[in-house]
Amino acid sequence: MKGLFKSKPRTPADIVRQTRDLFLYADRSNSLPDLRESKREEKMAELSKNIRDMKSILYGNSEAEPVAEACAQLTQEFFREDTLRLLITCLPKLNLETRKDATQLVANLQRQQVNSRLIASDYLEANLDLMDVLMEGFENTDLALHYGAMFRECIRHQIVAKYVLESEHVKKFFDYIQLPNFDIAADAAATFKELLTRHKSTVAEFLTKNEDWFFADYNSKLLESSNYITRRQAIKLLGDILLDRSNSAVMTRYVSSRDNLRILMNLLRESSKSIQIEAFHVFKLFAANQNKPSDIVNILVANKSKLLRLLADLKPDKEDERFEADKSQVLKEIAALEPRDLA
């Protein structure tokens, strides 16, 4: 009987089921002290091999392209039960190579469609607490890059991004993108950007609801950070957010605040040209606003000559027609401004 089964090749679903059993084993193994070490190692090696096998089913390998039917079977079985949760909780017990394979496996699964449905999204919707686990990964140097990559893949699903934006997690990103480890901080920054730009309607809704604290924190923690790279990334992302059509209401309110204008004018004076240029792309919105509040007008008028001089000298390294056009428009706006009585 056994021989019969052995000769049959494993189906993708078989591999998923076996992997699940091995995960359960790995999860338990620490609490079984009488277990032989060699036995444990054998099982872990088997687990590593299974994860790699699943990866090559989904991505293909040097000999074969991936087969749609096999991918669908694997994905279906994977999400039929709680395999993703097991994978995430067992990740710390896997070796480096297997962690990388597991991360790529999870990334691919987010994009697999079964009967033209992204079933990963359905699974995550019912298991949103997994995002909390992944989020904690940013604080563990060994796991951060793996959990971080999975996290970014998961927020491809709108429902997941919405959950994260509405949770307390979003606040933590202000700190994570300033972690001393560059690779982790940069990974967090990439995720933060994805979170605030990918799903337009969700982002607009989030910003409208959380405008006050969000921009206050954004200004004080990011735009006024002592860290060059934080300021640089933050000003770029701010431009991307405000210039997006779906955020126009938020933008209009943003450019009516004198606090915001003060910060932007400081960024315009930075010694880094890259920051100056990015700051200009936000500053121009203040100048172009046709309904400028009086206090904004008065600040611009008070600094008129300085601004005109500064802007005239500001040039990107590469020739940029659009930049020049924007600049002359802004120069014209500011030059024409007259002081106003405060209403």
Partner 1 sequence: MARNKLEFPLEAEAYEIICKIGVGVSASVYKAVCIPMNSTVVAIKAIDLDRSRADFDSLRRETKTMSLLSHPNILNAYCSFTVDRCLWVVMPFMSCGSLHSIVSSSFPEGLPENCISVFLKETLNAISYLHDQGHLHRDIKAGNILVDSDGSVKLADFGVSASIYEPVTTSSGTTSSSLRLTDIAGTPYWMAPEVVHSHTGYGFKADIWSFGITALELAHGRPPLSHLPPLKSLLMKITKRFHFNDYEINTSGCGKKKFSKAFREMVGLCLEQDPAKRPSAEKLLKHPFFRNCKGVDFVVKNVLQCLSNTEQMFIESQVLIKGVEDDEEGDEEILKKRRISGWNFREDDLQLSPVFPTTESDSTSEGDRHRDKPEGDKVVITGSEVGLGFSNRKEEAKEQEGEVVGFDRDLVLEKLQLLKKSLEHQRARVLVIIEALSGEREERSREEELLEMVEKLKIELEAEKMKTLRAEKESVLG
Binding part of the chain for partner 1, among 72-80, 131-139, 175-183, 255-263 by CB under 8 A, reads: 175-183
Q: Does 113 bind partner 1 (CB under 8 A)?
A: no
Q: Sign of dihedral through CA atoms 160, 162, 167, 173?
A: positive
Residue selected from 43, 100, 221, 315 as contacting partner 1 according to rule CB under 8 A: 100
Answer for which of 28, 111, 200, 306 binds partner 1 (CB under 8 A) is 111
- The reply on whether position 30 binds partner 1 by CB under 8 A is no
Q: Which of 189, 223, 238, 267 binds partner 1 (CB under 8 A)?
A: 189
Under 8 Å between Cβ of 225 and 178: yes
Q: Is 118 exposed, middle or buried (0-12, 13-18, 19+ CB in 10 A)?
A: middle
Q: What minimum distance in Å lies between the beta carbon of 153 and partner 1?
A: 10
Smallest distance, Å, CB 20 to partner 1? 23
Pick from 7, 31, 38, 62 the residue near partner 1 by CB under 8 A.
Answer: 62
Q: What are the CA-CA distances from residue 326 to residues 199, 245, 277 (Å)?
A: 28, 18, 12
In angstroms, what is the minimal distance from the CB of 322 to partner 1? 17
* x/- track of binding to partner 1 for residues 65-94 (CB under 8 A): xx----------------------------
Which among 32-40, 177-185, 215-223, 251-259 is the span making contact with partner 1, rule CB under 8 A?
177-185
| Residue 95 interacting with partner 1 (CB under 8 A) | yes
Number of residues counted as binding partner 1 (CB under 8 A): 40
Could you say which of 75, 233, 247, 260 contacts partner 1 (CB under 8 A)? 233
Nearer to partner 1, 209 or 273 (CB): 273
Site residues (CB under 8 A) for partner 1, limited to 134-163: 141-142, 145, 156
Give dist(CA 19, CA 119) in Å, integer.
19
User: For residues 251 and 281, what is the distance between their CA atoms, to the nearest angstrom?
Assistant: 13
Binding site for partner 1 (CB under 8 A): 58-60, 62, 65-66, 95-97, 99-100, 104, 107-108, 111, 141-142, 145, 156, 180-183, 186-187, 189-190, 193-194, 227-229, 232-233, 236, 272-274, 278, 317
